[in-house]
């Protein structure tokens, strides 16, 4: 007999929250489970496996739409994995771009803090840098 989980036990086993499980059901990523006579959801190992897949994909930063595409692709194990590879490649490129932006932010914050004399707010380089964007790596445009 297959093991059956309540929503609380599924959340606990997967390390997620009940609200997260309900959300993934509501958007169709997680199939709706059968219900018992008391109308309580009853999840199976299949639900657990899908939920862990979704959670891992989301931890890697994949969008809901990318997760949906990967789930659809996984339903056709005989197909080439070109599309799955492309999804992962796009995510890797995005992660690398975010890392580059974070490195710029790190350098800017280090520059700002290194010029700090620990004086008063009137002489604060942090406040000054934020108020005068001319010193930053990113050029902001005034609203039109």
CATH number at residue 33: 1.10.1660.10
Find out whether 14 and 48 touch, Cβ atoms under 8 Å.
yes
Lowest mean pLDDT among 16-20, 22-26, 120-124: 120-124
User: Does the structure show a pLDDT above 60 at 135?
Assistant: no
* Rounded distance between C-alpha atoms, residue 54 and residue 71, angstroms: 9
Cβ-based neighbour number of residue 57 at 10 Å: 21
| Counted domains in the chain | 2
Tell me the C-alpha distance between 134 and 130, whole Å: 9
Confidence (pLDDT) at 1: 63
Q: What is the pLDDT of residue 57?
A: 97
> What percent of the chain is modeled with pLDDT above 90?
65
Average pLDDT over residues 100-127: 84
Q: Is residue 62 part of a domain?
A: yes
Q: Does residue 32 lie within any of the structural domains?
A: yes
Quick one: 122 and 105 in the same domain? yes
User: What is the enclosing helix (H) or strand (E) of 43?
Assistant: none
Same-domain check for residues 121 and 91: yes
Kindly state whether residues 96 and 46 are assigned to the same domain. no
pLDDT per residue over 26-77, tens digit each?
A: 999 999 999 988 989 999 999 999 999 999 999 999 999 999 999 999 999 9
pLDDT at 15 over 60: yes
Contact 3/45 with Cβ under 8 angstroms? yes
Phi, psi of 41, rounded to the nearest 5 degrees: -65, 140
- Are residues 57 and 102 both part of a single domain? no
Considering the chain, what is the average pLDDT of its residues?
A: 89
Neighbours of 75 (CB within 10 A): 7
d(CA 136, CA 27): 41
Q: What is the C-alpha separation between 112 and 39, in angstroms, rounded?
A: 59
pTM: 0.77
Distance CA 76, CA 141 (A): 48
- Model confidence at 140, in pLDDT bands (50, 70, 90)? low
Residue 64 and residue 17 share a domain = yes
DSSP class of residue 32 equals: P
């Amino acid at each position: 007999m297959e093991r059956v989980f309540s929503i609380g036990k599924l959340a606990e086993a997967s390390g997620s929250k009940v609200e997260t499980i309900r959300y993934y059901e509501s958007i169709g990523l997680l199939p709706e489970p059968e219900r018992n006579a008391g109308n309580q959801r009853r999840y199976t190992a299949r639900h657990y496996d899908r939920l862990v897949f979704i959670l891992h994909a989301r931890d890697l930063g994949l969008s809901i739409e990318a997760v949906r595409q990967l789930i659809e692709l996984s339903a056709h194990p005989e197909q080439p994995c070109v599309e799955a590879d492309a999804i992962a490649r796009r995510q890797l490129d995005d992660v690398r771009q975010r890392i580059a932006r974070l490195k710029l932010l790190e350098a800017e914050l280090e520059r700002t803090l290194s010029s700090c004399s620990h004086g008063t707010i009137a002489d604060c380089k942090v406040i000054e840098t934020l108020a005068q964007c001319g010193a930053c790596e990113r050029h902001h445009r005034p609203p039109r």
